[in-house]
């Protein structure tokens, strides 16, 4: 039985490298220079060894080069099909340096076939957005001119270069930021704006994600001319709500507009979801957005966007799934963590179950949360019961028994340790061999701490590689894990009064994340309220399972099937 957790020190974690090393989470980055002799040897190895994942590294802790020899062993026809899969049906484009971002083209070998293929129209719009990002992005003449106008503080001009910009303020935990990035990208596509993402207070963006657009960057330059832009709030004169209410939509004197779409946004600022582009917003070259959650469902409320969104996403239950597979590729350091752990502990199992634990009542572990996990996995037949050893010995293990690997993520190792010990001390009732693994346990959450975020992102991707997943309600970390993997989760309800909810969990209606702050809003009447969702008569918007005031995208056909 594997044991990959620890109840002592947070630093006592599994060996991500697959060999003995001093620091599995090194932050150092080096560039490998392979000699011609090594290159020749590598070619021989690839052509003669059976299909497997070869890991080459000159020393411990250095970034590795991963080569998928399986592709080399396929016939010509199979290689062509494999290439199509690597590009995810046209969602991704060739031309990137594969060694600079191994996850972009290697993730297909660790995932199932695309649950929802991208629509031809979405692929067309992505190529147009990429061209816009290259033409107007940082370092280009249009960007330099636009930055100078922003720095001067002069009112906006008529976008003589045809370039306008959306700056996303990176905010809160990693799950929140990933949901906000996917949402902001969709908004940028709908409004023909260049997306620039704030690097964050810890400058962690480039440590976590590869560049998604070829030939340019999505990282907001460090010398961005707008001072103290991270301190903008709803009270700012440039706030969308203030402009709409106090200035009647006038852009006179404005050199940017601030979109406050945080979870606590006021009703006036939420009116941005109903902006019809015939008002002032499209005439402002710079838009600064603050978002800490998944705002994409709100865009579906706007009649102006509905036709375009229908063409982009014929299936409404896969918006985040498709956008995240296009946009969010982990860097080589993180991809190395993912692949090493997966190959060591998860790959050979007959089934992989992910369990994501988020406790909102403090960092210490609770018995009722453990009881809820066990009740949910038992109710949904995700984990087998164990045999009682009273009155006799446990049955002998059966050769060739079915195996199940359980991946657990959370700040505490206590839940992992208890479940692992349960299957260590007793045999499962159905004869399955159950192994339980936890990559890390940080004990406390840290925002914009590079090493903490890197581990968190590795665990999110590992969760997305499982076959079935149990997530904690209200958790953006869980939303991203199941959404990225195209998994319809079993959501555990948030406990009340330190007791196990009844029922402990439920099967979600779709793999889409829940939006906390998108209003139940009617853009035609400007009416807001709990009952307005039904009045909108949008069959693909429903209340969330874990948050009755939240909104999530669904597909009516799939929902009926579930």
Tokens of 382: 């995700």
Pairing mode of beta strands 551-553, 541-543: antiparallel
Same structural domain, 71 and 212? no
CA distance 402 to 394: 18
pLDDT, residue 360, reads 87
Mean pLDDT in residue range 193-213? 91
Q: Is residue 449 part of a domain?
A: yes
CA 222 → CA 32, 178, 212, 226, 257, distances in Å? 28, 20, 19, 11, 20
Residues 297-309 pLDDT 10s: 989 988 889 999 9
Q: Is residue 17 part of a domain?
A: no
CA distance 494 to 505: 9
Same structural domain, 355 and 428? yes
Q: Is residue 16 part of a domain?
A: no
Tokens of 399: 């050769």
Same structural domain, 154 and 81? no
Q: Where do we find the tokens 């902006």?
A: 275
Residue 552: its H or E element: strand 551-553
Same structural domain, 349 and 464? yes
Residue 47 has pLDDT above 60, yes or no: no
> Which residues share a beta bridge with 37?
none
pLDDT, residue 433, reads 95
CA distance 95 to 101: 12
- The angle formed by the CA atoms of residues 315, 317 and 320, to the nearest 5 degrees, is 110
Domain boundary among 282, 316, 350: 316
Residues 371-399 pLDDT 10s: 999 999 999 999 999 998 665 566 666 77
Residues 537-560 pLDDT 10s: 578 888 899 998 888 999 876 544
Residues 270-297 pLDDT 10s: 888 888 755 678 888 999 999 999 999 9
Nearest to 454 by CA among 6, 24, 4, 20: 24
Nearest to 161 by CA among 174, 177, 178, 143: 143
Q: Where do we find the tokens 């199941």?
A: 482
Residue 510 has pLDDT above 90, yes or no: yes
What is the SS3 assignment for 80?
Answer: helix
Mean pLDDT in residue range 221-225? 94
Same structural domain, 378 and 460? yes
Residues 69-88 pLDDT 10s: 333 433 444 444 444 489 99
Same structural domain, 529 and 380? yes
Q: How confident is the model at residue 66 (pLDDT cuts 50, 70, 90)?
A: very low
Tokens of 482: 């199941």
Q: What is the CATH number of the domain that holds 350?
A: 3.40.50.11350
Q: Is residue 253 part of a domain?
A: yes
Same structural domain, 309 and 339? no
Range of the domain at 145: 120-316
pLDDT, residue 158, reads 58
Same structural domain, 164 and 206? yes
Same structural domain, 435 and 556? yes
CA distance 120 to 3: 46
> Within the chain, what is the greatest distance between any pair of CA atoms?
84
Same structural domain, 360 and 500? yes
Mean pLDDT in residue range 238-246? 85
Q: Is residue 5 part of a domain?
A: no
Any idea which of 52-56, 440-444, 494-498 has the lowest mean pLDDT?
Answer: 52-56
Q: Where do we find the tokens 């063409």?
A: 311
| C-alpha distance across the termini of the chain, in Å | 35
To the nearest 10 degrees (0 to 180), the angle between helices 174-191 and 450-464 is: 80
> Which residues share a beta bridge with 351?
404
Mean pLDDT in residue range 8-34? 36
Domain boundary among 254, 286, 316: 316
Same structural domain, 377 and 473? yes
Q: Is residue 531 part of a domain?
A: yes
CA distance 457 to 387: 36
Domain total for the chain? 3
CA distance 35 to 466: 38
Mean pLDDT in residue range 342-349? 97
């Amino acid at each position: 039985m594997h044991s990959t957790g620890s109840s002592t020190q947070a630093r006592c974690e599994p060996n991500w490298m697959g060999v003995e090393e001093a620091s599995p989470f090194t932050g150092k980055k080096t560039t490998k220079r392979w000699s011609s002799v090594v290159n020749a040897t590598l070619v021989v190895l690839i052509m003669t060894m059976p299909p497997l994942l070869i890991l080459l590294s000159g020393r411990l802790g250095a970034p590795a080069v991963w080569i998928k020899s399986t592709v080399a062993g396929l016939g010509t026809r199979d290689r062509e099909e494999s290439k199509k899969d690597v590009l995810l049906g046209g969602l991704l484009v060739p031309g990137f340096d594969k060694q600079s971002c191994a996850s972009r083209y290697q993730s297909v070998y660790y995932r199932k076939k695309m649950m929802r293929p991208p629509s031809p129209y979405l692929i067309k719009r992505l190529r147009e957005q990429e061209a816009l990002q290259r033409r107007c992005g940082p370092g280009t003449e249009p960007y330099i001119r636009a930055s100078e106008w922003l720095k001067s503080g002069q009112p906006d001009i008529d976008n003589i270069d045809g370039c306008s910009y959306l700056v996303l303020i990176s905010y809160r935990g990693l799950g929140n930021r990933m949901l906000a990035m996917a949402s902001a990208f969709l908004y940028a596509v709908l409004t023909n704006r260049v997306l620039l993402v704030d690097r964050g207070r810890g400058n962690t963006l480039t440590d976590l994600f590869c560049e998604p657009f070829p030939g340019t960057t999505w990282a907001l330059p460090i010398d961005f001319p707008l001072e103290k832009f991270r301190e903008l709030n709803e009270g700012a004169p440039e706030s969308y709500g203030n402009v709409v209410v106090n200035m009647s939509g006038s852009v006179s004197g404005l050199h940017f507009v601030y979109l406050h779409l945080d979870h606590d946004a006021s009703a006036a600022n939420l009116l941005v979801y109903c902006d019809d582009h015939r008002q002032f917003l499209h005439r402002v070259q710079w838009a600064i957005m603050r978002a800490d959650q998944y705002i994409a469902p709100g865009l579906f409320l706007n009649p102006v966007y509905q036709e375009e969104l229908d063409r982009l996403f014929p299936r409404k239950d896969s918006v985040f799934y498709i956008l995240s597979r296009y946009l969010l590729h982990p860097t080589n350091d993180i991809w190395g963590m993912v692949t090493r752990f997966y190959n060591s502990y998860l790959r050979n199992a007959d089934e992989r179950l992910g369990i994501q634990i988020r406790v909102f009542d403090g960092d210490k572990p609770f018995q009722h949360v453990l009881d809820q996990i066990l009740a949910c996995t038992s109710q949904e037949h995700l984990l087998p019961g164990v045999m009682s050893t009273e009155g006799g010995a446990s049955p002998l293990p059966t050769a060739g028994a079915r195996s199940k690997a359980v991946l657990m993520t959370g700040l505490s190792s206590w839940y992992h340790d208890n479940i692992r010990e349960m299957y260590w001390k007793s045999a499962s009732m159905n004869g399955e061999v159950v192994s339980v693994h936890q990559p890390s346990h940080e004990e406390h959450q840290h925002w914009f701490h590079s090493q903490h975020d890197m581990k968190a992102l590795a665990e999110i991707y590992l969760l997305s590689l499982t076959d079935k997943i149990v997530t904690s309600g209200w958790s953006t970390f869980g939303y991203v894990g199941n959404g990225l993997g195209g998994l319809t989760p079993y959501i555990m309800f948030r406990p009340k009064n330190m007791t196990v909810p009844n029922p402990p969990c439920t099967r979600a209606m779709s793999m889409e994340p829940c939006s906390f702050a998108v209003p139940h809003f009617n853009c035609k009447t400007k009416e807001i309220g709990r009952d307005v969702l039904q009045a909108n008569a949008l069959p693909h918007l429903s209340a969330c399972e874990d948050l009755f005031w939240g909104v999530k995208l669904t597909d009516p056909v799939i929902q009926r099937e579930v």
